[in-house]
Structure formats: structure tokens, C-alpha cells
Amino acid sequence: MEVGASPLTIRVVTDGRAGIENQALGLAEAVARLAPASIDLRRVRWRPVFDWLPADLKTPAMLDPVSDVPCPADGEPWPELWIAAGRASLPLSLRARKHSGGRTVVVQVQDPRLDSSRFDLVVAPEHDGLTGANVVSITGSPHRITPERLAEAAPAFAAVIKPLPRPRVAVLIGGRSKAFDLTQEHAADLADRIAGAVEGAGGSVLATFSRRTPVEAQAVMADRLSRLPGQVWDGTGPNPLFAYLHSADHILVTEDSANMAAEAASTGKPVHVLPMVRRGSAGKFARLHADLAARGAARPFDGRLETWTYEPLAETERAARAVLEAMKRG
């Protein structure tokens, strides 16, 4: 497929979950920074009675009525590029590749747990270990963070952040997952260690929690970190994450989230990895953190705010270039 002067038409298909959608949108936006493009976002989910079916047996008629219509009606043009992420999108990605008549290049983000050759391109985290002729492996996952986007977010929070003493420490806390847990006791210990480091450096804290953070753990950490100069976001009002990342001198991130670690490493700022309570296999996270350490981006948090430099990760842009190359090959 030839990528010409006319804007590319890109359709992004996800189930609407923020962590999944940011990956697909981040890749689409990176493509659009390299080539003029229009991005059309569609959110889908399946009716519960059909959700258990294998991808090959699902049809658009089984979608929940609240879903956006992802596939063009008869006679309507297919998009030139289809970028999808998440299990819910798989049947539709397969359908797009089969029924678009070769007009649409279908890119699946994350390991689809299907034969990768059924898609034109798969962009997967290197720590998942997926291989194939059409697989692009990247450190972490695609995301929407760029220096420009972070800078744009900063003015809205300047009144809170600008007076804070340096070093400013962004603290990104995850939570319970298959591999990790954040107990109240461990959360209290983490908060005390973080507070000790920030106080010792004479700095301030900018803390935020994820949807997976247990309520009890969030409460104890918020209580202890709120005693420091800074802000602990309570989840109300506009999300300050991008402003925090822009303003921070150090970023502390819990080891349970590959997305948060990769996003933090795209800033070029020291990334300190906070330990969690293990409750399952964490091999892929260990591989990711080893990769980030080898790139000079991340180190385990040792109670100090040591400073170092490295080349910011630009893996989303690398994946976007691979997508455009795949489109040129047709």
C-alpha cells in the first residue's frame, strides 16, 4: 500500500479501558506525527451471552448495542489503517483483514494469543516473548506521552506545583494484580521509605494512585505522604499525571505496571522502581525492569534519590515507523 500525500484514515478499536485504549491511541497518534492522518476511535464490547465465544465465531451482530459500529457498512470505504488492542477487538480485527479486500492494514497491539500471521502486524511488549515475521517487539507498550503533551498539561497545575521545593518526586502507585499485591502494611512501609527520601533531600511529592490500588493501601499512603510538601491526588478533578511527569525530577513507580514504567522511562528522568508484595509469577515484569535497567532508565528504589541520565525511550515512535513500513509493503 502506498502512503501518499492524502491524510491516512486510521481507525482505533478498543474496549474503552483506559490502559488498553491508551496503547492503541498512542500508536495511532505516533503514526499521525510521522504522516498526515485522521484518527477515528471506536469502542466495542460483546453481549455477555456471546463474550465467551472464540474470536472466529463472533460477528458484529453479537456486539452490545452500546458499542460504536467498528466495521463499515456495505459500500462504505474501509480505513487504510486499523489499530486495535484488547481481547474484545480481536474478532473485529480478523474481520477487517478478511473483508477489506486488502485496503486495510490491520495492526494488533499486545500479544493477541492467536497466530500472529493472521494480522498484518503485531506490536507486542518484548517482555512477553512473542516472536514472528510480522511481530514488532518493543520495550513496554505504546503510550500517548510526548514532551509536548506533558508541557501542554503543566500550566493547569502550575499554581500547585511551581512553588514546591525541588527535587520534586512523582510517585505512581499501582495495586493488586495476578502477580502483585499492595497490602496495608506494605503500603505504610513504602510511604515511610518514600517520605524519608523526600525529606532527606528537602524536596516535595506528587503522588497518584491507579484504579487497582486497594482502598486501605491508598488511605495509609495518602495520610503519610500528605504530611510532605506537595500534592497527593485524590482522584477528583482533572488528572494531573502528565503535569506531574513534566514537573518531576525523579519518578517512583511500583513494579506491577509495565505501562507506568515504560511511560516514565520516556521522560528521560530517573525512574526508581518500588517493590510490591509478590502473589504470582512476575517473570515478565522482571524482564522489563532488566531491559529498562540495561538502557540506564530504571533502578530499584534504595531509599535514596540518586540522579542519573539516559536517552529517553522512544519505542512508540519506533513502532509507528514499523507500521508505516508495513503499509508501504502492502
| 151 in the same domain as 135 | no
Are residues 274 and 320 located together in one domain of the fold? no
d(C-alpha 209, C-alpha 174), whole Å: 6
pLDDT in tens, 43-95: 999 999 999 999 999 999 999 999 999 999 877 899 999 999 999 999 999 99
Task: Indicate whether 1 belongs to any domain.
Answer: no
Partnered with residue 123 across adjacent β-strands are 109, 136
Residue 22 belongs to some domain of the structure: yes
My answer on whether 248 and 112 are in the same domain is no
Residues 233 and 279 in one domain: yes
pLDDT tens figures, 292-302: 999 999 999 99
**Residue 27: which CATH number?**
3.40.50.2300
- The number of domains in the chain is 2
CATH at residue 184: 3.40.50.2000
**Same-domain pairing of 182 and 249:** yes
HEC assignment per residue over the chain:
CCCCCCCEEEEEEECCCHHHHHHHHHHHHHHHHHCCEEEEEEECCECHHHHCCCHHHCCHHHECCCCCCCCCCCCCCCCCEEEEECHHHHHHHHHHHHHCCCCCEEEEECCCCCCHHHCCEEEEEHHHCCCCCCEEEECCCCCCCCHHHHHHHHHHHHHHHCCCCCCEEEEEECCCCCCEECCHHHHHHHHHHHHHHHHHHCCEEEEEECCCCCHHHHHHHHHHHCCCCEEECCCCCCCCHHHHHHHCCEEEEECCCHHHHHHHHCCCCCEEEECCEECCCCHHHHHHHHHHHHCCCEEECCCCCCCCCCCCCCHHHHHHHHHHHHHHHC
Residue 244 domain-assigned (yes or no) = yes
Would 306 be classed as within a structural domain?
A: no
- Contact between 244 and 218 under an 8 Å Cβ cutoff? The reply is no
Q: Is the pLDDT of residue 282 over 90?
A: no
Rounded Cα–Cα distance for residues 19 and 11 (Å): 18
Within a domain: residue 310? Answer: no
> What is the tens place of the pLDDT at every residue in 164-195?
999 999 999 999 998 999 999 999 999 999 99
- Domain shared by 61 and 135, yes or no: yes
User: pLDDT band at 147, cuts 50/70/90?
Assistant: very high
Residue 2: inside a domain: no
- Indicate the pLDDT class of residue 259, thresholds 50, 70 and 90: confident
2, burial (CB in 10 Å: exposed 0-12, middle 13-18, buried 19+): exposed
Q: 110 and 188 in one domain?
A: no
pLDDT score for 314: 96
Do residues 133 and 14 share a domain?
yes
Residue 311 falls within a domain, yes or no?
no
Of the chain, the percentage scoring pLDDT greater than 90 comes to 90
pLDDT at 283: 86
Q: Are residues 173 and 197 located together in one domain of the fold?
A: yes
Q: Which domain holds residue 179?
A: 147-300
**Are 152 and 260 part of one and the same domain?**
yes
Task: Tell me, yes or no, whether 309 lies in a domain.
Answer: no
